[in-house]
Amino acid sequence: MERIEKDTFGEISVDASKFWGAQTERSLRNFKIGTDKMPLEVIDAFAFLKKACATVNVSMGKLSEAKGVAIKRACDEILSGKLDEHFPLVVYQTGSGTQTNMNVNEVVAHVASERSGEMIHPNDDVNMSQSSNDTFPAAMHIAAYQKLQQELLPELDKFERVLKEKKEAFMEIVKIGRTHLQDATPLTLGQEISGYEAMVSRAKRFIEESGKELLPLAIGGTAVGTGVNAPDGFGDEVARELVKLTGSSFVSDKNKFFALSSHSPLNFVHGALRSLAADLMKIANDIRFLASGPRSGIGEISIPANEPGSSIMPGKVNPTQCEALTMVAAQVMGNDTTIEVASSQGHLELNVYKPVIIFNFLQSVKLLSEGVRSFRMHTLDGLQANEQAIQEKLENSLMLVTALNPHIGYEKAAQIAKAAHEKGTTLRAEAVNSGFLTADEFDEWVDPLKMTNL
């Protein structure tokens, strides 16, 4: 069955089982581009925003108490997840997000009218004192900030804790270091992992600090930043209501012209996400190198065998979680390029790349949160040191000769290392054969643990 909806373009038929109106229907028909839908996090952010706006409009005497209550109840239904099917629009629509703003307005108006028995208009009532140009960027910030706080940062806390545990457990296991993918001087496995821990800790701090840039909201700026059609102080009051509703310290941006035309805060914060992605790429790659083998690679650590690794080679186990996490990192880096380019397109009073910015931002947060969780649970938790392989490679390394530099000099130490390499003998044997030092001196000076400065 269908029903007839009207807007300024006239009549249009809509599926009677759906709660949206004419403008949503026109968007559905006119923008059949891809399968990516506007994220529900944005819809929920709009529900918080519309609820706060209704409260303020009532308090300022612009909206009746009855209509305000009905609008807020409809927003609560959206937040409950019961109305998700009524938000069908794709990301690739108008760059201001107007069609999604109207989708929310129409659904709220439909549900509020149906539940209350009072006629509520999507523009005149639900969108009162607002414009898509200030509501959509406000919803972008709300969604982005909430997603960071609720999903990514808690996962990074857990990830950091596991790295700390592994660092402490492996702190005294001395292994050979590697630079340029070649043997270098010793360090401990715990010291190596401490570098990973520091990466995650600092990335988390950068995200926390940069995320505060998302707290100022564009609400109250209406169409171009002047606040036309909104009462004085509207944005400030809405921000105060949002603090009550979300528990986050949102404020009204002091410069609405900036808030409507620039998305540098989201671009800036996503830069911190890109940096995290780069660190995760390094950590995952290191672990898959160190776990390579099991007999023909480095093999200094072992990772959990979660599933068969090959359809043709029986018993093969691959570092699949490392592969998944590095693919996540690659996608986040790609998202960063999209966000950077889109953020540069703030022409005159409005950036009209808003939907693709928030879509990519939220996708990055989701992928990073879930990628870190999966890697922690299925690889990091079960990571073990292969102490036999570590010891064999340590004893066979030529770079232990570095410890002799202070005693016999670089040139003589180099001669010993070169001789051992060419003859396939040990450093100790060639050191004694060189006549530069005795066996006892070698044993005293070449102490791998001392070389770690632990």
* 310: annotated active-site residue: yes
Residue 98, annotated as binding a ligand? yes
Query: What is the Cα–Cα distance from 113 to 103, expressed in whole angstroms?
Result: 15
CA 148 to chain centre: 7
Residue 122, annotated as binding a ligand? yes
Helix (H, G, I), strand (E, B) or coil at 173: coil
Tokens 């457990």, residue? 169
8 A C-beta contact, residue 50 and residue 140: no
Residue 316, annotated as binding a ligand? yes
Q: What is the DSSP letter of 152?
A: I
Residue 13, annotated as binding a ligand? no
Q: Which of 17, 80, 264, 310 is catalytic?
A: 310
Residue 261, annotated as binding a ligand? no
For residue 19 the two structure tokens come to 């709660």
Q: What is the DSSP letter of 36?
A: P
Helix (H, G, I), strand (E, B) or coil at 318: coil
Contacts of 20 (CB under 8 A, 6+ apart): 14, 86, 88, 103, 106, 107, 110
8 A C-beta contact, residue 277 and residue 328: yes
The CA distances from residue 125 to 7, 51, 60, 142, 269, in Å, are 15, 12, 14, 22, 34
Instruction: Of 441, 45, 421, give the one whose Cα is nearest residue 248.
Output: 45
Residue 306, annotated as binding a ligand? no
Which residues are 11's β-sheet partners?
A: 6
Contacts of 391 (CB under 8 A, 6+ apart): none
- In this structure, the number of other CB atoms found within 10 A of the CB of residue 56 comes to 27
Contacts of 7 (CB under 8 A, 6+ apart): 21, 22, 23, 26
Residue 318, annotated as binding a ligand? yes
Contacts of 38 (CB under 8 A, 6+ apart): 87, 89, 90, 91, 93, 100, 103, 355, 359
Residue 179, annotated as binding a ligand? yes
Residue 100, annotated as binding a ligand? no
Query: Angle at the Cα of 363 (from 361 to 365), degrees rounded to 5?
Result: 70
Residue 397, annotated as binding a ligand? no
Q: Which of 180, 252, 374, 421 is catalytic?
A: 180
Residue 252, annotated as binding a ligand? no
**φ and ψ at residue 407, rounded to 5 degrees:** -100, -40
Q: What is the DSSP letter of 38?
A: P
DSSP track, 110-151: HHHHHHHSS---IIIIITTT--HHHHHHHHHHHHHHHHIIII
Residue 124, annotated as binding a ligand? yes
For residue 302 the two structure tokens come to 């072992």
Which residues does the annotation place in the binding site for substrate?
A: 96-98, 121-124, 131-133, 179, 311, 316-318
Which residues does the annotation place in the binding site?
A: 96-98, 121-124, 131-133, 179, 311, 316-318
Could you give the residue numbers annotated as active site? 180, 310
